[in-house]
């Protein structure tokens, strides 16, 4: 955009607000204003539109094709949810409007909370956390509040499996606990004996997901939750993999006390740069009094308002969460219903197992048994034979017209390729993806170290990019932090 800039060109004028100038000056004190205007590019509308249109042609998205990032659940989001969230009666409501003017919104949020509680098998839900990581931290704050309410302040550790999501240890640290790793067994599940060996009265709880990060269902989940409860700990469910069990089983039925959900992974909310996320947290009846508030609530006369639980940990997000993201999730739930949600899980699991079998003759399969919504294969054998690593396979896949899967994760698998096809891909797309991965394995050569060669941007020096970060929107400026 800066390269197209020419002094004096204009593309658009910002609309003036209804606020008089004196009111605007009061809202933003002069000392907080920049002394000079920001040096933005000056371009015509024609150049502006052309520039952004060219960028869209270079991008890969969930609307364009398969996006098989394992654990991320990057699936196609039906446009019905976008249409619902853009309805004027929802999109044009100010969050500070009084309850008497927002009864429709309050009913939507209340019904969504009820639906998510039913899906997870829990008693109560907060919709405030704006992302999965925020949901994790909220869950740990609830865990801490519960133990404090019992006068149990000597618990300093939270157990995490060695195949856990990368955000779990960070959330544990932010929550003020020490992360205690427990190993996986030969099946790729939590080693029950190793878990029991570390459980004592210093353990506040355990963070895990089921199915786990290897895409495998924890067969001993009832024993795991019982063992943690026996020492007075709580059991936290990372909802990243909920897509695998929708309508089939529920975290509450497995014995979990706290559940965070990724609505931007499972319930039709745009993911990543596509828009704000949503990470509601559901809890058992015992933990409901500690939920962040305020919560939408229905009064005996049928009207809706806000209430704050008796022992609430307080707000974890401004206003009431990312409301339009929540509206999308509610539309998705209404459109599918209970049977539709179960079908989501069934097809996601079927697709992942089809890929596991199709790729098994060309890549290593560390745990070659029925997986859930994602399968993990390994390029370790390919690396030994040809020198081509998982990262090379992923880069080469871009040349085939597909987004790459997750690579080198989970860490317990050497040269891991973590593939989550989701339920939204057709058999034809799955077959094309599998064929591309097979071709790459069969024709692996030193040339793959230079892939991708047909994309607008080739392989970048990731180490240099990290060490010489250009922390500005204008990439023409010199890098910061030492040059």
pLDDT value of residue 372: 97
The mean pLDDT of the chain is 92
What does pTM read for this prediction?
0.90
d(CA 363, CA 386): 13
Lowest mean pLDDT among 46-50, 318-322, 372-376: 318-322
pLDDT value of residue 40: 86
The answer on pLDDT for 35 being more than 90 is no
Lowest mean pLDDT among 56-70, 320-334, 375-389, 462-476: 462-476
What are the angstrom distances between the C-alpha of 130 and each of 72, 116, 239, 274, 281? 16, 16, 14, 14, 11
Average of pLDDT values for 414-424?
97
The answer on pLDDT for 41 being more than 80 is yes
pLDDT value of residue 482: 44
Q: Are 430 and 354 in contact (CB under 8 A)?
A: yes
d(CA 286, CA 110): 20
Average of pLDDT values for 440-452?
93
Q: Are 204 and 156 in contact (CB under 8 A)?
A: yes
d(CA 162, CA 213): 10
pLDDT 10s digits, 247-274: 999 999 999 999 999 999 999 998 865 5
pLDDT value of residue 344: 97
Average of pLDDT values for 173-194?
95
Average of pLDDT values for 105-128?
97
The answer on pLDDT for 25 being more than 80 is no
Strands (E), 198-354: 203-208, 234-239, 258-261, 281-283, 295-298, 304-307
pLDDT 10s digits, 62-97: 899 999 999 999 999 999 999 999 999 999 999 899
Q: Which domains does the chain have, with CATH numbers?
A: 2-58 (no CATH), 81-335 (3.40.640.10), 343-465 (3.90.1150.10)
User: Which phi and psi angles does 97 have, rounded to 5°?
Assistant: -60, 140
Top mean pLDDT of 28-37, 38-47, 199-208, 439-448 is at 199-208
Q: Is the dihedral of CA 460, 466, 469, 472 positive or negative?
A: positive
Average of pLDDT values for 198-217?
96
């Amino acid at each position: 955009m800066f390269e197209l800039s020419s002094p004096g060109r204009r593309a658009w004028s910002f609309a003036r607000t209804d606020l008089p100038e004196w009111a605007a000056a009061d809202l933003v004190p002069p000392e907080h204003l920049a002394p000079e205007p920001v040096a933005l590019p000056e371009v015509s509308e024609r150049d502006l539109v052309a520039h952004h249109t060219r960028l869209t042609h270079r991008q890969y998205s969930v609307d364009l094709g398969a996006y098989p990032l394992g654990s991320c659940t990057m699936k196609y989001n039906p446009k019905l949810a976008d249409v619902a969230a853009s309805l004027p009666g929802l999109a044009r409501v100010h969050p500070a409007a009084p309850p008497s003017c927002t009864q429709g919104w309050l009913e939507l949020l209340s019904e969504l909370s009820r639906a998510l509680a039913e899906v997870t098998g829990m008693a109560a839900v907060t919709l405030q956390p704006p992302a999965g990581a925020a949901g994790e931290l909220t869950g740990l704050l609830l865990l801490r509040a519960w133990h404090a309410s019992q006068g149990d302040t000597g618990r300093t550790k939270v157990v995490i499996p060695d195949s856990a999501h990368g955000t779990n240890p960070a959330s544990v640290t932010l929550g003020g606990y020490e992360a205690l790793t427990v190993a996986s067994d030969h099946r790729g599940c939590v080693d029950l004996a190793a878990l029991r060996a570390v459980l004592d009265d210093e353990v506040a709880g355990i963070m895990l997901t089921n199915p786990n990060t290897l895409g495998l269902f924890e067969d001993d989940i009832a024993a795991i939750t019982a063992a943690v409860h026996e020492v007075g700990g709580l059991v936290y469910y990372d909802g990243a993999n909920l897509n695998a069990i929708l309508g089939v089983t529920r975290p509450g039925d497995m014995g979990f006390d706290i559940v965070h959900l990724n609505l931007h992974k499972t319930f039709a909310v745009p993911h990543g740069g596509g828009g704000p996320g949503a990470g509601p947290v559901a809890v058992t009846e015992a933990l409901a009094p500690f939920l962040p508030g305020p919560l939408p609530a229905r009064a005996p006369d049928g009207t809706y308002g806000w209430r704050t639980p008796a022992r609430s940990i307080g707000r974890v997000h401004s206003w009431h969460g990312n409301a339009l993201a929540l509206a999308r999730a509610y539309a998705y739930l209404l459109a599918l219903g209970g049977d539709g949600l179960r079908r989501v899980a069934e097809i996601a699991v079927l697709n992942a197992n089809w890929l596991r079998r199709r790729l098994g003759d060309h890549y290593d399969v560390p745990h070659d048994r029925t997986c859930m919504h994602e399968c993990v294969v390994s390029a370790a054998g390919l690396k030994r034979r040809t020198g081509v690593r998982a990262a090379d396979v992923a880069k080469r896949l871009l040349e085939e017209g597909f987004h790459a899967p997750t690579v080198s994760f989970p860490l317990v698998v050497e040269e891991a390729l973590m593939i989550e096809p989701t339920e939204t891909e057709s058999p034809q797309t799955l077959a094309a993806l599998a064929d591309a991965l097979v071709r790459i394995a069969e024709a692996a050569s030193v040339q793959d170290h230079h892939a991708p060669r047909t994309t607008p941007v080739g392989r970048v020096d990731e180490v240099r990019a990290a060490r010489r970060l250009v922390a500005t929107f204008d990439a023409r400026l010199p890098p910061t932090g030492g040059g």
